[in-house]
Amino acid sequence: MIKDYFVLSTKNLKRRGVRSWLTLLGIFIGITAVIALISLGDGLKTAVNSQFGVSSTQLITVQAGGLSGYGPPGSFVVNPLTKEDAEAISKLSTVELAIPRRVETLNLEFNNKLQVTAVGSIPIENTQKVYELQEISAQYGRLLNKDDSGKVVLGNNLADPKKNGFDKEIMPGASVTIGGEKFRVVGIMEKKGSFILDGAILMLEPDLKDLMNDGDKASVIIVQVKNKDLMTKAQIEIEDLMRERRNDRKGEEDFEVSTPEAMLATVNQVLTGVQMFIVLIATIAIIIGTIGIVNTMMTSVMERKKEIGIMKAIGARNSDIFLQFLIESGMLGLIGGIVGVIAGIGIGYLGTLGINYFIGSETTPGINFILISTTLIGSFIIGAIAGITPAMKAARQNPVEVLRG
């Protein structure tokens, strides 16, 4: 029997005017936002997290403030880290290893075209350790050894003619010009899903130093801690040491010691904030949509007073009328939900495609059957809840009054 009420409701909904459908905008926007958020949110988090390339949780990075021009105003004193800083850090009891690395931006020329690229240094000592810690491996060719002067390894995107901007594939054996000097490509890195690493060049530290010609600087010091439990202790020790070495007062440091957890936490905090905001908007939209459904159902009850009277005259109980209007209202919500889910999935897919395209990550939208079905059931329930008062009003109509005239 309940099936018949669904059929009746569908017939009733079909003859509804544009006005009814407009009231569904709220539900539609709310559901779209929720679905888009969930399907995109996971992808976004994965993408952002993968950009940091931090899967090893025993790494601490030390960076100098002002080095890359991001320091606070007035403190733009370039006071770079040095190899000696790294050596001092490596002597700390909690530290296993401290490796200074340089990251510079240089021109890369190939096929008569020029691109500005990031170039990272590979130290001569602990070469393998760096690969291991940063999970770098070669997809084609090989990685650099300590005697590979004049040779480079390229990020995955730089090899790909569709992504590298040179309109030509670069493979091991190719010759490229970096910062005006010729280098031979010996390997292509495995894809990392991070646009920084996938677009970077690796060369031995002495080569980079020669190109830059500005002494023993370090852009970043990568610190491996002896074990995970010592992370916090190591962080404090490094901070104390660096403050002493750089004559910084506490609270006025021009360097930064960060753990992967802290970095991810910051990013995730921002993402969570954005998500909360979208959820808030979605909630407001759904509340407005619910009120819209109450309104349109109330109008519908008034318009169909006579019909209700007829139904009662031919034997409809109050509960039959109530059920009919409740289902109709629920289906209004459901229709808003269906359109919202479709739009939300669309946004999720396009958004993920966009993220993947710009960042070079490979995330998929977080959509699943359970999410969709709960959302649809939820939107039906929201509609039905909105319909309770109108349906009660409809059920209470006095058939005599509504049949008159």
Partner 1 sequence: MKYQKTRKQKEIIHLHDVDRFYHMGESLVRAVNKMNICIREGDFVAIMGQSGSGKSTSMNLVGSLDIPTHGKIYLDEKDTSKFTESDLAQLRGKKIGFIFQQFNLIPNLTALENVMLPMLFQNVEESERKQRAKEILILVKLEKRINHYPNQLSGGEQQRVAIARALANNPEIILADEPTGNLDSKTGEIVMKFLNKLNEEGKTIVMVTHDKNLAIKHAKEIYWLKDGQVEKITRLVGNEWRKISDCHTPR
Strand partners, 119: 104, 201
Candidate list 113, 182, 184, 317; residue touching partner 1; CB under 8 A: 317
Helix, strand or coil, per DSSP, at residue 108: strand
Shortest Cβ distance from residue 310 to partner 1 (Å)?
Answer: 5
163 binds partner 1 (CB under 8 A): no
Candidate list 233, 245, 305, 306; residue touching partner 1; CB under 8 A: 306
CB atoms within 10 A of CB 77: 10
316 binds partner 1 (CB under 8 A): yes
Q: Answer for the pair 378, 35: CB distance below 8 angstroms, yes or no.
A: no
| Cβ distance to partner 1 smaller for residue 28 or 325 | 325
| Cβ distance to partner 1 smaller for residue 19 or 404 | 404
**What is the maximum span of the chain, computed from C-alpha positions, in angstroms?**
101
168 binds partner 1 (CB under 8 A): no
What is the Cα–Cα distance from 258 to 85, expressed in whole angstroms?
Answer: 16
State which of positions 83-112 bind partner 1 (CB under 8 A): none
178 binds partner 1 (CB under 8 A): no
State which of positions 12-31 bind partner 1 (CB under 8 A): 12, 14-15
188 φ, ψ (degrees, to nearest 5): -120, 130
Shortest Cβ distance from residue 330 to partner 1 (Å)?
Answer: 18
Question: What is the phi-psi region of residue 384: left when phi exceeds 0, alpha when psi lies from -120 to 50, beta otherwise?
Answer: alpha
Q: Answer for the pair 21, 296: CB distance below 8 angstroms, yes or no.
A: no
Candidate list 307, 349, 371, 389; residue touching partner 1; CB under 8 A: 307
Angle formed at CA 44 by CA 49 and CA 275, multiple of 5 degrees: 110
Interhelix angle 260-303/369-395, nearest 10 degrees? 30
Burial class for 346, CB neighbours closer than 10 Å (0-12, 13-18, 19+): middle
The span of 11-19, 55-63, 66-74, 239-247 binding partner 1 (CB under 8 A) equals: 11-19
4 binds partner 1 (CB under 8 A): yes
Candidate list 248, 256, 320, 362; residue touching partner 1; CB under 8 A: 320
Candidate list 262, 310, 343, 381; residue touching partner 1; CB under 8 A: 310
302 binds partner 1 (CB under 8 A): no
Strand partners, 111: none
| Cβ distance to partner 1 smaller for residue 83 or 305 | 305
Total residues contacting partner 1 by CB under 8 A comes to 24
311 binds partner 1 (CB under 8 A): yes
Shortest Cβ distance from residue 40 to partner 1 (Å)?
Answer: 40
318 binds partner 1 (CB under 8 A): yes
Shortest Cβ distance from residue 18 to partner 1 (Å)?
Answer: 17
> In sequence order, what DSSP letters do the residues of 83-100 get, joined into one string?
HHHHHHHHTSTTEEEEEE
| Cβ distance to partner 1 smaller for residue 149 or 398 | 398
Shortest Cβ distance from residue 297 to partner 1 (Å)?
Answer: 16
2 binds partner 1 (CB under 8 A): no
What is the Cα–Cα distance from 198 to 204, expressed in whole angstroms?
Answer: 18
Site string for partner 1, 360-399 (x = CB under 8 A): ---------------------------------------x
Closest to 156 measured CA to CA, from 114, 118, 197: 197
| Cβ distance to partner 1 smaller for residue 2 or 116 | 2
Question: What is the phi-psi region of residue 276: left when phi exceeds 0, alpha when psi lies from -120 to 50, beta otherwise?
Answer: alpha
| Cβ distance to partner 1 smaller for residue 12 or 389 | 12
- Six token digits for residue 100: 């200074």
Shortest Cβ distance from residue 38 to partner 1 (Å)?
Answer: 37
Dihedral (Cα; 133, 136, 141, 144), 10-degree rounding: -50
| Cβ distance to partner 1 smaller for residue 239 or 320 | 320
What is the Cα–Cα distance from 283 to 49, expressed in whole angstroms?
Answer: 28
Chain residues that interact with partner 1, rule: CB under 8 A: 1, 4, 8, 11-12, 14-15, 306-307, 310-320, 399-400, 403-404
